[in-house]
């Protein structure tokens, strides 16, 4: 076990000496040859971070992002070979990264980028037909439990995360408004859709997603906003193809 | 003669294939005859759904497919990651690829995935460990695996046998086949100071199920010696094409992959590399007796 432990430590820590027993063809210490592995590991993971967080990169600049990613990949190497999900700890890392504390919205923007990737790779699901709920007797409607699409993601924020994302990723998008925003990400087929929802709507969807029946979900949303409109909630569920199963 | 075009995912012909990149999808579908098959990196298709898997389902209806793992860490001192092995089984079960391969390398340690193909010493203890891991892979996935020779930048003082002796014993004991990466031979031979043709002469080519070609970059070590780096970021260089011809003359035609994973070019550039491999494949004689 020891050899690969020393090897792995030296890969992630440039101050760590090159492990003993590694040589060149003439039997001399491998020296700089070992740096090929160090470089492959760190550069490939920094590249994966660039692919994963393009908006954070735009917000802080390419060079700053490269430095930040270099710190992150050494402290949080991946824990599985599925690099498509690499960076799960990055929002929390940003929360605790004092030099960027003056850009307080970065962690939530990183959460949004992660959520979009989760949605992109989520299990495919077929929505129920648009008239599925109208076939149900009105007195039973409020007791229904729904299975929502696995690709649904909700990111609440004190910052205009959707506006910031669009401003950086979409040509001609307007300046982000100064407001709190909650993002709803859905994937009706293969393409992601992102829209703004109210905190009450997010609470409604979140409760349904956790298996609560419609009446409990409605109560949860109404506690947030007494004017919550149940019809608008149901319309959103159907229009965004979010219901994949109805449990009577 | 080239094999006739196959569109079954489980039959990879003796033609040139390419590592599939999503940005090449349109180019490939507009001119499907330009390649004989595609290879995918298994780990890129281990999400639960969405576009990558939809694309692969579409492609497997049209092309033979080879499934190439890059994250199993067969050379690890610790046990294989059973979750990852099961993900691989799930993928191979629905994809039914014609070829299935992994590397003689390690990449996972203490649950950290280091995303590189790291080297192993060529000793009896490593042979035993690698054989046990390949047994486990082949038992779980339910089919033969091809094991790929690595590009190496360092050697281990404790190694007591050649890479070829190592691979041969592993193949004999586990029943795995071999994937011969001709660029890796050229890179390792340069870095380790041996003859690439001599390596091919000694290689058990009757065990080879697939060949790889790719581009490398050039650096130097502490003593100014040339150090080649397997980067998959450039065209295949002429000396590697020559070594490929040398390999075909001994091994006979084999499915041949062009690998290009970084600084990915326009489709036409990659298709030209594939066409060059196809020309050499159609000129290749049948395998020499070993």
Residues B24-35: pLDDT tens digits?
999 999 999 999
Residue B3: pLDDT band (50, 70, 90) is very low
Q: What is the mean pLDDT of residues B63-74?
A: 97
Cβ-Cβ contacts under 8 Å, B227 against chain A: 32-33, 36
Question: Are A33 and B106 a contacting pair at CB < 8 A?
Answer: no
Q: How far is B221 from chain A (nearest CA, A)?
A: 6
Residue A155, SS3 per DSSP:
strand
Residue B10: pLDDT band (50, 70, 90) is confident
Q: How far is A220 from chain B (nearest CA, A)?
A: 30
Query: A46-50, A131-135, A239-243, B155-159 — which is least confidently predicted?
Result: A131-135
Average per-residue pLDDT in chain B? Answer: 95
Cβ-Cβ contacts under 8 Å, B48 against chain A: 121-124, 150
- Domain boundaries in chain B? 16-283
- Burial class, A198, CB count within 10 angstroms (exposed 0-12 / middle 13-18 / buried 19+): middle
Give A188-197 pLDDT, tens digit per residue: 999 999 999 9
The per-residue pLDDT for B289 is 58
Residue B6: pLDDT band (50, 70, 90) is low
Give B274-284 pLDDT, tens digit per residue: 999 999 999 99
Q: What is the mean pLDDT of residues A43-60?
A: 98
Give B81-128 pLDDT, tens digit per residue: 999 999 999 999 999 999 999 999 999 998 899 999 999 999 999 999
pLDDT higher than 70, residue A64:
yes
Give B256-273 pLDDT, tens digit per residue: 999 999 999 999 999 999
Count the alpha carbons within 13 Å of B214 in the hemisphere toward its beta carbon. Answer: 27
Q: How far is B285 from chain A (nearest CA, A)?
A: 35
Average per-residue pLDDT in chain A? Answer: 96
Count the Cβ atoms, other than its own, within 10 Å of residue A248: 8
pLDDT higher than 50, residue B1:
no
Question: Are B50 and A187 a contacting pair at CB < 8 A?
Answer: yes
pLDDT higher than 70, residue B290:
no
Point out the residue among B49, B78, B154 whose CB comes nearest to the CB of A123: B49
Question: Are A36 and B153 a contacting pair at CB < 8 A?
Answer: yes
Question: Are A81 and B106 a contacting pair at CB < 8 A?
Answer: no
The per-residue pLDDT for B8 is 66
Cβ-Cβ contacts under 8 Å, A36 against chain B: 153, 219, 227, 229
Fold of the B16-283 domain: TIM Barrel (3.20.20)
The per-residue pLDDT for B7 is 58
Q: Parallel, antiparallel, or unpaired: how do β-strands B106-109 and B99-103 relate? A: unpaired
Q: How far is A94 from chain B (nearest CA, A)?
A: 21
> A interface mutation test: which of B53, B116, B196 has the most A CBs within 10 A?
B116
Residues 6+ apart with CB under 8 A from B105: B73, B74, B75, B117, B118, B119, B120, B150
Q: How many residues does chain A have?
A: 248
Please name the residue that has the structure tokens 């004190």.
Answer: A158
Give B130-151 pLDDT, tens digit per residue: 999 999 999 999 999 999 999 9
Point out the residue among B78, B112, B153 whose CB comes nearest to the CB of A79: B112
Q: Give this prediction's pTM.
A: 0.95
CB pairs under 8 A between A and B: 143
pLDDT higher than 60, residue B2:
no
Among chain B residues, CA nearest to A30: B154
The per-residue pLDDT for A108 is 98
Interface of A with B in 205-244 (CB under 8 A): none
- B255 near B66, Cβ under 8 Å? yes
Could you give the domains of chain A?
A: 1-103 (no CATH), 111-248 (3.90.930)
Among chain B residues, CA nearest to A47: B262
């Amino acid at each position: 076990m020891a050899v690969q432990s020393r090897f792995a430590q030296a890969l992630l820590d440039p101050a760590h000496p090159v492990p003993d027993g590694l040589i060149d063809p003439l039997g001399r210490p491998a020296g700089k040859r070992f740096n090929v592995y160090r470089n492959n590991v760190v550069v490939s993971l920094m590249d994966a971070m660039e692919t994963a967080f393009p908006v954070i990169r735009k917000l802080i600049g390419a060079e700053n992002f490269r430095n930040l990613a270099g710190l992150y990949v050494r402290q949080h190497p991946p824990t599985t070979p599925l690099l498509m999900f690499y960076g799960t700890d990055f929002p929390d890392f940003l929360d605790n990264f004092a030099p960027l504390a003056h850009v307080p919205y970065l962690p939530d923007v990183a959460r949004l980028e992660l959520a979009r990737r989760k949605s992109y790779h989520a299990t495919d699901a077929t929505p129920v037909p648009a008239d599925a709920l109208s076939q149900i007797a009105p007195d039973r409607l409020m007791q229904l439990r729904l299975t929502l699409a696995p690709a649904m993601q909700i990111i609440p924020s004190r910052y205009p995360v959707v506006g910031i994302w669009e401003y950086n990723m979409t040509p001609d998008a307007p300046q982000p408004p100064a407001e709190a925003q909650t993002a709803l990400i859905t994937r009706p087929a293969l393409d992601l859709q992102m829209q703004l929802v109210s905190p009450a709507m997010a609470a409604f969807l979140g409760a349904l997603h956790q298996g609560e029946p419609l009446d409990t979900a409605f109560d949860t949303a109404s506690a947030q906003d007494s004017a919550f409109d149940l019809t608008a909630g149901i319309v959103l569920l159907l229009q965004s193809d979010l219901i994949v199963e109805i449990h009577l | 003669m080239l094999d006739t075009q196959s569109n079954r995912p489980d039959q990879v012909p003796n033609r040139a294939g390419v590592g599939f990149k999503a940005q090449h999808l349109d180019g490939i579908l507009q001119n499907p005859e330009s390649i004989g098959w595609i290879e995918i990196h298994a780990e890129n298709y281990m999400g639960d759904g969405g576009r990558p898997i939809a694309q692969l389902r579409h492609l497997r209806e049209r092309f033979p497919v080879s499934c190439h793992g890059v994250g199993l860490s067969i050379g690890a001192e610790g046990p294989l990651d059973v979750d990852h092995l099961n993900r691989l089984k799930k993928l191979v079960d629905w994809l039914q690829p014609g070829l299935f391969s992994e590397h003689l390398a390690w990449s996972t340690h203490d649950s950290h995935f280091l995303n590189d193909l790291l080297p192993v010493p060529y000793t009896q203890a490593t042979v035993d460990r690698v054989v046990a891991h390949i047994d486990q892979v082949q038992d779980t996935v339910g089919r033969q695996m091809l094991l790929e020779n690595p590009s190496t930048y360092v050697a281990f003082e404790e190694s007591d046998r050649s890479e070829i002796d190592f691979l041969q014993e592993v193949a004999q004991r586990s029943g795995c086949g071999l994937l011969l990466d001709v660029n890796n031979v050229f890179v390792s031979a340069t870095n380790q100071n041996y003859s690439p043709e001599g390596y091919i002469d000694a290689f058990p080519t009757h065990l080879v199920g697939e060949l790889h070609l790719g581009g490398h970059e050039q650096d130097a070590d502490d003593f100014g010696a040339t150090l080649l780096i397997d980067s998959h970021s450039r065209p295949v260089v002429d000396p590697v094409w020559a070594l490929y011809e040398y390999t075909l003359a001994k091994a006979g035609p084999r499915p041949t992959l062009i690998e290009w994973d970084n600084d990915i070019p326009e489709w036409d550039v990659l298709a030209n590399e594939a066409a060059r491999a196809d020309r050499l494949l159609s000129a290749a004689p049948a395998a020499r007796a070993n």
